[in-house]
Amino acid sequence: MTTSASWADVPAFPLAAKAALADTQLRRNLGKATSTIREKRIGVVEEMPDWEPLREAGRALKDRTLRHLDRHLLELEASVQAAGGQVHWARDGDEANAIVTRLVQAKGVDHVVKVKSMATVEIELNEALEAAGITALETDLAELIVQLGRDRPSHILVPAIHRNRTEIRDLFRRTIGPATLTDEPAELAEAARRFLRERFLRARVGISGANFAVAETGTIAVLESEGNGRMCTTLPETLITVCGIEKLVPRWEDLEVFLQLLPRSSTAERMNPYTTLWTGARDDDGPREFHLVLLDNGRTTSLSDELDRQTLACIRCSACLNVCPVYERTGGHAYGSVYPGPIGAILTPQLAGMRAAGSLPFASSLCGACYEVCPVKIDIPTVLVHLRNRSNKERAAASLRGKLDPERLALKAVAKGFATRGRYERLQKLGRRGQWPLARGGKITRLPGELGGWTKARDLMPIPDQTFREWWMEREASR
């Protein structure tokens, strides 16, 4: 696999995070943005009397669908074909990119317009098209900002969350003009509108992702706020949709649940401004040619693991990013993936492998805020811990260095030591006696090696003279 969800040039999370933490502007932007949307989300969720049952329903629907995904996918294929669309199967990103490139080339165009889509960023479709001489224009405002700046997305929903309006003004002045642009949001949006409108009208091929694909009808759903998605999916003659195989819902009525869960969790709105639904292709309205590219790219591997599987229930709302105390401080780029934040910390290692993203399952304090807000109840902390176990095992199996990792050796020794009461009590005494070189002046202010991470900013009290059990035994003896 040459395309994956992970960016090879970003270092492991602890190092990437360290650099991000030093960017005070970034932390301020993120702190403001995430706390605003957090508050808003609470408001629109609390007004729903049946929010918990809705979450249960969303999760149950996803679980059931994923268990029978093979059947549903074939049903989807048949429905799309019956409605006049064509279906293509892609095992990985390379295959998907080749299919899309071929389809665009067959139309004889070198420009396409795109709806914001995570799957196409995951497989680096724009880069693949560019290599074939095709320019793919992102039409979502934030995605356009990322593209014009030759930047990377740092949030699932708000890819340019790391940019402030002055930076965007400067970028627009440099790229799409006019040079007199101010940093007023309305003016910035207007500049993008003017630039995009003309391209919408000229485009002959549109490319989209999918929020949902309904198996029984062959209907694709895209939810958005700006109306650019509506333009891309209705104006061009040819529409190509790249859809992860997990986006499928069996029945039309299943949308009822997800169309309530997604906007409230995502933009903290009761309803998203634009929901575009289309079924196949027809001569009298919308695109005359419709292609659905069904993308695996590692998803069936996740499907095969009982705990990993729930990751595929994700509807990409990004509520977990907005509540995550780690994401709020480091931003998205530190995760080195198109999927940042808590969901990225479990999804990226599954898609890209532990070698590329093995530090991500550890990029969490396991506070559980993500699980609490997830509209489809993905138990992210449990999957994180499950992946940590896999990451540790793979590292130990891969190299001697992994086998001799100090943390691994220490925890193995501790586990042995805690296996019997005798050994445990001896370890306690050993710790107390062995700490004297460190515990001067009543507190430990510097620890050696890896443990030094603790004493960078935190003191430690020495182990007291008497353990609890010693006190207890003394008390029992004196009774």
Partner 1 sequence: MRIALFITCFNDTLFPRTGQAVVTLLERLGHEVVFPLEQTCCGQMHFNSGYHDEALPLVRRFARVFADEQLIVSPSGSCVAMVRDHYPHVARESGDPELIEAVRTLGERTFELTELLVDKLGVEDVGAYYPHRVTYHPSCHALRMLHIDDKPLRLLRAVRGIDLVELPQAEQCCGFGGTFAIKNADTSIAMLDDKLRAVAQTGAEICTAADNSCLMHIGGGLSRQRANASALHLAEILASTEDRPFGVPQSGGASASIAVVRA
Site residues for partner 1 per CB under 8 A = 13-14, 17-18, 21, 27, 325-326, 329-330, 361-369, 371-372, 382, 385, 387-392, 407-408, 411-412, 414-415, 418-421, 424, 428, 431, 442-443, 445, 450-451, 453-454, 456-473
Tokens at 294, concatenated: 């069904």
| Tokens linked to 238 | 């040819």
State the minimum distance, in angstroms, from the CB of residue 75 to partner 1: 32
Cα-Cα-Cα-Cα torsion 147, 150, 156, 157, nearest 10 degrees, comes to -40
How many whole angstroms separate alpha carbon 107 and alpha carbon 109?
Answer: 6
Q: What angle do CA 205, 141, 288 make, to 5 degrees?
A: 20
CB of 297 to partner 1, least distance (A): 25
Is-contact 403 409, C-beta < 8 A? no
Nearest distance in Å: CB 333, partner 1: 14
Cα 374 from Cα 353, distance rounded (Å): 24
Minimum distance from CB of 277 to partner 1 (Å)?
36
Distance of closest approach, residue 365 Cβ to partner 1, in angstroms: 3
**Nearer residue to partner 1 within complex by CB, 93 or 344:** 344
Please give the full DSSP string across 303-342, using - where no structure is assigned. Answer: HTSTTGGGGGG-----HHHHH-HHHHHH-SGGGTBSS-HH
Q: How far apart are CA 38 and CA 42, in angstroms?
A: 6
DSSP string across 46-93 = HT-TTHHHHHHHHHHHHHHHHHTHHHHHHHHHHHHHHTT-EEEEESSH
Q: How far is the CB of 118 from partner 1 (least distance, A)?
A: 24
For the bound state, the minimum distance from the C-beta of residue 259 to partner 1, rounded and expressed in Å, comes to 27
Q: Shortest approach of partner 1 to residue 167 CB, angstroms?
A: 23
Which strands make up the sheet holding 212-214, listed edge to edge? 248-249, 212-214, 219-224, 274-279
CA pair distance 17, 37, nearest whole angstrom = 23
d(CA 103, CA 94) in angstroms, rounded, equals: 14
Given strand 238-244, what is the order of strands in its sheet?
86-90, 289-295, 238-244, 205-208, 111-114, 135-138
Question: How far apart are the C-alpha atoms of 139 and 228, rounded to whole Å?
Answer: 6
Q: Is 37 or 141 the residue whose CB approaches partner 1 more closely?
A: 37
In angstroms, rounded to a whole number, what is the distance separating the alpha carbons of residues 269 and 256?
A: 16
Report the nearest approach of partner 1 to the CB of residue 34 (Å).
Answer: 11
Burial of 47 per CB tally in 10 Å (0-12, 13-18, 19+): exposed
